[in-house]
Structure 1
Amino acid sequence: MKKTLREMRPVCVVGIGLHRYQRMSETPYVALGLTAVREALKDANIEWRSVESAYTGTAMLGMAASRPMLRYLGATGIPMAQVENASASGSTAIRQACLDVASGIADVSIAIGVDKPAPMALASAKTNIHDLVGRRVVPFTHFALLANEYMNRYGATAEQVAAVAVKNNRNGANNPYAQRQKPVTLEEVLAGPPISGSLTRLQCCPIGEGAAAAIVASDDAIERLRIDRSRAVRVTASISRSERVYRGEQNFDAELTRETVAQAYEEAQISPEDLDVVELHDAFTIEELLYVEAMGLCGVGEGARMIASGDGDIGGKCAISASGGLLAMGHPIGPTGAGQVVEITRQLRGEAGIRQQPNARTGLAHMVGIGAVCVVHVLQKAA
């Protein structure tokens, strides 16, 4: 009989680490990744030899990224694997680490996300099957068209869509790991260089480099390694789905999100009203509006009004992208999904400082990847 993560051995995030997301530099990926891993080990107060498996989420580095990086911590012979799932690579690495612990294959596993900018080479270009659109509609044009359709359908304004960037850059300004650390006004967002349609530069996420790491452990390991149980955050759902045919729907990413999140709610035994913090795939401002609706945080067509009301602010009903989201925290591809789990863990521990959502107990991390795939995790305060 198929089991959910909640029905298997409990899995808790016990250590988190980041290397700041930043513009491309000469820093080797090994230094980026080791910074995050060492921070996670220190946070968990364990040694590298206690880690029993490792998954590295990366989309642009190339083959065999784990061993040249992790050998500096010691050649312990543990199984290592690279995970590539487009923007959801880090999220998928988290899922694989959780499954190792939940199934009993390992007591302690680490998920790492690390990337450096490089030309994106999509496998679909080598299928010899050409679609009718081809390269005529690049991602930012696709989302500009969705923004235009959303505004026409629901009466939202360009200012309301742009307000997402104002909120997320305000959050990012208080995040020392964010790529964009400067608050912006609505006027600055709207006046920025146009990218496509109504979308300006500040309504599109920056793609840079960085790293994130999360260590997950079983109850037995927490006891044996004397890990501080009060700082452990339980993963109560880990769901991965891929796109199917959605007849009559305008946006397959939103429908895929709706299905994946609904399954995560069921597995974690929660509802949208239980969420205190959400980190979602806001690569473009319009995505945040579409996804909060798909998650059931507000009604269809009400996303713009939800953001305008302050319900998505830190201190509101549910803090959306308290890290700054992809728009301000950045989107280095491989690390992004793992970094979301790091942020939610920090929030549920009550360690987010000025970005802290009061009394946060339940959080959701959501990433969509080209393909299209969607990975969702639900985390809950364990103690």
Structure 2
Amino acid sequence: MSMLLKQRPVHVIGIGMHAYQFPTETPYVELGLTAVREALHDAGIGWPQVQSAFVGTAALGMAAGRVMLRHLGSTGLEVAQVENASASGSTAFRLACLQVASGERDVVLAVGVDKFGDGRRAVLKDGLPPLSPTANVPLVKFALLARRCMRERGLRLEDLAQVAVKNHGNAALNPFAQFRKPRTLDQVLASPRIAGDLTGMQCCPRGEGAAAAIVVSDDAMRRLGLDRSRAVRVLSSVASSEELAQDAPALVELVRKSAAAALESASVGARDLDIVELHDAFSIEELLYSEAVGVCDEGEGAAYLARGASRIGGECAVNPSGGLIGMGHPLGPTGVGQVAEIVRQLRGEAQGRQHPGARLGLAHMIGLGSVAIAHVLARG
């Protein structure tokens, strides 16, 4: 895809959100259309100008996209539904970019929407007896990984908790976040332990919400007279799945390789990044993935956070939205929400949480299975 993106540039021209929230009786259609309408308004286009739509969702069931979008009008557009666990929205965005980069379409919508579902995963239906009742529970896996890092790397409980302090603080400044209260270190450490050393405030909430992004070609921007000054270019998009790893946890290696591939494709270095939105469903992940992405050296994740380098206004703002821990993780919308946050930051429109001079961002998401989707975006 990297050659396509160089030959036929793809730009994010419109973004929209419905705030992430705990489960309500609100129909998913209302959640999703709130985000889509906001993205259309932000882009300055009408619904009939959208030629294709990719709908990322993990828990809604069949045909959710068409059922939702027909309320905007039956225009005959192409609609495809995408399920890729936590990476559903990221995958929908990637497919939207690919369709524009290929020249097949000029104006494409990527929207993620979800409500809290039954959580039934395919791994529970594979016909194989599990190694233990918790063998396929992400929380348990990351609690074990946290304990391993504490034993082998000397990480402390406070190092893990500081991730949550930062991200709850960022989320408190984000009107779309599920959690809107800053938290102290003592509060994070005192919250109930969920598994191992991970307390409740170090784990992401589930809920509901929606996020939308509209991507266009140069031709569409000229034809429709769109405001190029607010367009954010997609420099690269990479998708992969985990491999067997000998010396490091497989997920950490998956992040390392996929982020490196996305950065290489974009012809930028990790230390050039101003914004990183990454999968921090559990606090240990941000420490390890900051290193894997390359914004800091291996083994430096906790120190990088402690000296303020990953805070808004630091060297590279990691999860300025609040991340999954603070902003929330409704699954389908999460990856598109990352893109929306980066676009706001690169435009200089992230009021109250703006990272100064942001020009380059990485959105990186993991989905159960495990898969990784990474996008590099640039201002101007």
TM-score, normalised relative to structure 1: 0.97
Q: Which residue of 1 aligns with 2:361?
A: 363
> Does structure 1 residue 190 correspond to structure 2 residue 189?
yes
Aligned pairs for 1:232-271 within 5 A: 232-249=231-248, 251-271=249-269
Counterpart of 1:375 in structure 2 is: 373
Q: Return 120-129 or 317-326, whichever deviates more.
A: 120-129
For 1:3 and 1:235, the matched residues in 2 are separated by 10
Corresponding residue SS for 1:354: coil
Match of 2:17 in 1: 18
Structure 2 unaligned spans of 5+: none
Deviation at 1:248, TM superposition (A): 3.6
When normalised by structure 2's length, the TM-score is: 0.98
Take 1:168 and 1:83, find their aligned partners in 2: how far apart are those partners? 28
Cα distance, 1:136 vs structure 2: 4.6
2:174 is the counterpart of 1:175? yes
Write the letter of the residue equivalent to 1:199: L
Query: Which amino acid in the other structure matches residue 190 of structure 1?
Result: L
Among all aligned residue pairs of Structure 1 and Structure 2, give the percentage whose two residues are the same amino acid: 58
Match of 1:288 in 2: 286
**Structure 1 partner of 2:158:** 159
Match of 1:34 in 2: 33
- Aligned-partner SS, 2:361: strand
CA contact (8 A) 2:2 2:265 kept: no
2:92 aligns with: 93
Q: Determine the structure 1 residue equivalent to 2:60.
A: 61
Match of 1:141 in 2: 140
Gaps of 5+ in 1: none
Instruction: Return the alpha-carbon distance in structure 1 between the equivalents of residues 195 and 123 of structure 2.
Output: 24
SS at match of 2:325: helix
Query: Does the CA contact (< 8 Å) of 2:273 and 2:361 recur in 1?
Result: yes
1:139 Cα deviation from its structure 2 partner: 1.6
The answer for the alignment partner of 1:123 in structure 2 is 122
Letter in 1 for 2:266: A
SS in 2 for 1:21: strand
SS of structure 2 residue aligned to 1:25: coil
- Matched residue SS, 2:23: coil
Aligned position for 1:103: 102
For 2:329 and 2:3, locate their aligned partners in 1 and report how far apart those are by CA, in whole Å: 30
- Judge conservation of contact 1:6–1:268 (CA < 8 Å) in 2: no
Distance 1:342 1:48 in 2: 19
| 3-state SS in 1 of match to 2:352 | helix
Matches of 1:136 and 1:356 in 2, distance apart? 40
What is the one-letter code of the residue matched to 1:53? S
In the alignment, the residues of structure 2 paired with residue 353 and residue 120 of structure 1 have an alpha-carbon distance, to the nearest angstrom, of 35
Is the Cα–Cα contact under 8 Å of residues 83 and 89 in structure 1 kept in the other structure?
Answer: yes
Structure 2: how far apart are the matches of 1:220 and 1:350? 25
> In 1, distance between residues paired with 2:2 and 2:325?
36
Question: Do the aligned partners of 2:123 and 2:136 also contact (CA within 8 Å) in 1?
Answer: no
Residue equivalent to 1:225: 224
Q: What SS does the aligned partner of 1:254 have?
A: helix
Q: Is the 8 A contact 1:6 1:267 kept in 2?
A: no
Give, in whole Å, the separation in 2 of the partners of 1:3 and 1:285: 32
CA contact (8 A) 2:134 2:140 kept: no
